[in-house]
Structure 1
């Protein structure tokens, strides 16, 4: 059975507090052998390492633009220390979101927050997990100006083929998940088909971004094999071939993340 990695999953969210272990066991049985949980707030960052060590998951530490009002200077100072001493494999989830920018002051705060994340990732020589919406060109330009060399993942990529190529040139892979399954996503599916297999990592963004075919109350890492089948079809690849390529992609942009090689428990 091919092995899969969920490169972006909020398995630490409260939606999974009652069934986290059973959801993970189900995902393991269908071939998901690893996942990465990105940090979004200081409070969640504080808990991530202990949770991920319990389940052998990978994690990143960062402050999401959605929660901009909650972030304080001391949280960035804590990040700097934690990135030095923790097992975090990346910095994020961080980035820029034009939709969230209610005014110019908010946008300027986002820019400052993102710039700090870039500097932290450079200092600790770690990749970035990016949330970019409506501003791919601006975000990529910031990274070029900063001479950022550690790559990472552009989560929930929805940009153009040209923008995708620009991210690849910067050393990033593109995260893709449930968005490609919806009837109105023809443009995204064309972009996926046009870009090479070396561009992609699969993700769920669970509990959010449910695929069109997913009937559970929340999205789950267990959806990854079904998303893999869709990506394989769009890329004209066999599943085993795609699994091997995505594993190479993971090792390239998230070298400190890992898969669980042991067979899952049948309990």
Structure 2
């Protein structure tokens, strides 16, 4: 079943063509990877999907409903939720308070929102930092907090923007395991990533973007062996 359909998506910023006629179908419970060089349009695509910026043309269909042009809060409330590469929690608030704010998008009761937040924090294995100020967390801790805030909104589709960026190799494996746990719970995941080992380990299908366009899409091993992908992004080590 197609849960997210992107049809003819284009986005311009003045004279800059950031996206050009992008067409993608994401299937329910898929782990959908996206790679490409810097400036390829990956984050712009996520920003359009999540409602942070409007598309210039094209449409977005989520669970059979055209959500093109919806505001970000309405898209998130309906189950399409994104994270950001640059984590910006409320640093003067605790981990629990940060996640409870996100829980309030679904739960009106303050006490119930806090309880839900505690459960989500435990789910991302951050419970020992429950009362810590978010500004004191390490980069790996902030990544988990960003995931917790997204999960507190009870997403059906989760858009992850470089969740492994800034982590040393020893920190990546636990986050990859956490992503597998989240996916196994029934959440569809689209993720932008530059760490190819993670991309290959997690992706059911892999999209390669280049200069705002879809360069290749398919089974990961087949995609990375495509000569056009090697030339545009991967380099000689994949040749």
TM-score, normalised by the number of residues in structure 1: 0.36
Choose between structure 1 and 2: higher strand proportion: 2
Choose between structure 1 and 2: higher helix proportion: 1
TM-score, normalised by the number of residues in structure 2: 0.39
* Higher normalized contact order (CA 8 Å, seq sep 6+, divided by chain length): 2
